[in-house]
Amino acid sequence: MKLRCDRKNFRSLKDTGGHSEVNVTQPQFIMGTQAGVGMSHLRNVTQAAKEAVQKALSAANITQPDFVFLFSSLGYDPQKLVQVVRQDTGNCPLAGCSGQGVIVQNEADESNFAIAVMVIRSDEMRFTNRYAVGLKDQPTETGQTIASKLLMDFAEQPQALFLFTDGLTVNFDRLIAGIESEFAQHNRIVPPVLGGAAGSDIEMKVTYQYCDDQVFSDGVVATLLSGDCQVTWALNHGCTPIGQERKITHAAGNKIFEIDHQPVFEVLREYLTEEEIQAWDRTIVAFCFGLKAPNYAQDHDEFVIRYLPRKDDLEGSVTLQTEVVEGSSIWITRRDAEKIAQGIDAIAQQFNGELQDRPAKLIFQFDCYGRGKSVLGELEKQRLEQKLQQQVGASLPWIGLYTHGEIAPIKGRNSFHNYTLILTAIS
């Protein structure tokens, strides 16, 4: 907290008929924004949550935050985790989700026992969080529901909407369509949407979303940021095609059944062994689809990368996290470690260019779990993470997670990404 004493607000003693008069305007306290991040690897959930919170509060130099972001891997009881974090932060509003790992300054941890907490106290910005469930069966309606909840307490100067969705059940295209339609009915424009799809562990069975005291799956947490602040982001993926252009010839919703008039698994067997297809959860760490980028995004990248969270052997389909259009061009793609490494410099350059003379106050990193140690190895992953932090700001409050999908606008359109790093600053 800063104390600003403006000299013009004070007048010295003066003689008024034998009485001394002091005309003093009370000094103005200016807080601005204070944020801190804490991390813990302790196995006991209560001890870990307390340690992460205390480290965050100490780093921010505060005792009571206005808002908390919480990211965690899946080794902890999620309900107990949220309960302790809430208790130790004065039950202030909280948003977050599970991840394949978490990221802070000087560390990117993909173990089963890692908690990252960011605490924020600010008189410049405001966070409003809401949640809804039902993504798998009613993605559009879920989007409408959470948008209507946000609009009930809509603040002026909206700057961004942070979304944390279930990474295994989300259809982002239908979710964002529901949000946008509800905003449009109230003559509101959806601000830039940023965030990620909650991560699981290697078994890919469940993800968790957190909103205040609630812990749930198959849902979405939305946090509206408003006030006197600026949001900046940059993104880059690290995949390259390994085959020729092909066409999606049979699809429904977000499922692909045929490519080039062949069953999708026959096409996949041209690139994968039977063992790799059976070990699907491990294979898709580095194996993905590339769709032709829409015209508005062509100068960003030639491909939009898509992760395949589920396959159905009986119906012969693979599921994406966005809608699929029959007749669309598609490429089989794989991770490219060299492209990932080159992308770090590109992101830092773009990011710093966007920030210009308004320094960042805190950083969010939403990074695909397939860009972690499973592809790069632990040492190279940590080296690239430290390189990015050194170029952007090694002393900034920095929190992130390894996701099952990433969210950020391209050319003003809120978009879903896979195998992508998204860096976001609030300044």
Using an 8 Å Cβ cutoff, are 155 and 106 in contact?
no
**Which neighbouring-strand residues pair with 290?**
305, 331
d(CA 322, CA 417): 9
Domain residue spans in the chain?
39-236+339-426, 239-334
**Which neighbouring-strand residues pair with 36?**
119
Per-residue DSSP letter, 9: G
Q: Which of 91, 67, 37 is nearest to 214 (CA)?
A: 91
Alpha helix stretches (DSSP H) within 378-418: 378-392
| CB proximity list for 271: less than 8 A, separation 6 or greater | 242, 243, 287, 332
Q: Which of 230, 219, 64 is nearest to 135 (CA)?
A: 219
* β-strands 94-98, 67-72 pairing: parallel
Q: What is the pLDDT of residue 299?
A: 65
| Rounded alpha-carbon distances, angstroms, from residue 318 to 13, 97, 252 | 81, 25, 11
Q: What is the pTM of this model?
A: 0.85
Task: Compute the 3-state secondary structure of the chain and give helix, strand, coil in percent, each to the nearest 5.
Answer: 25, 40, 35
Alpha helix stretches (DSSP H) within 61-164: 78-88, 139-151
Own/partner pairs for 414-418, CB < 8 Å, 24+ apart?
414/176, 414/180, 414/190, 414/192, 414/193, 415/297, 415/304, 416/172, 416/173, 416/176, 416/321, 416/322, 417/235, 417/237, 417/304, 417/305, 418/237, 418/288, 418/305, 418/306, 418/307, 418/321, 418/368
d(CA 130, CA 220): 9
Q: Which of 339, 343, 272 is nearest to 308 (CA)?
A: 272
Rg of the chain, C-alpha, whole Å:
23
| CB proximity list for 343: less than 8 A, separation 6 or greater | 236, 237, 238, 421
Per-residue pLDDT of the chain (427 residues; tens, 9 = 90+): 332 333 233 233 233 333 333 333 343 444 699 999 999 999 999 999 999 999 999 999 999 999 999 999 999 999 999 999 999 999 999 999 999 999 999 999 999 999 999 999 999 999 999 999 999 999 999 999 999 999 998 877 899 999 999 999 999 999 999 999 999 999 999 999 999 999 887 667 899 999 999 999 999 999 999 999 999 999 988 788 888 899 999 999 999 999 999 999 999 999 999 999 888 888 887 788 988 877 776 667 777 888 888 899 999 999 998 999 999 999 998 888 888 888 899 899 988 888 877 899 999 999 988 788 877 889 989 999 999 999 999 999 999 999 999 999 998 899 999 889 999 999 9
Q: Which of 416, 245, 391 is nearest to 321 (CA)?
A: 416
Q: What is the pLDDT of residue 65?
A: 97
| CB proximity list for 113: less than 8 A, separation 6 or greater | 41, 42, 43, 48, 73, 75, 76
CA 208 to chain centre: 14
Between helix 45-60 and helix 78-88 the angle, nearest 10°, is 40
365 membership: H or E segment, kind and range: strand 362-368
* β-strands 125-133, 115-122 pairing: unpaired
Terminal CA-CA length for the chain: 17
Q: DSSP letters along 267-280, please?
A: HHTTTS-HHHHHTH
Tokens of 30: 């200016």
Residue whose entry in the numeric block shows the structure tokens 């979405």: 220
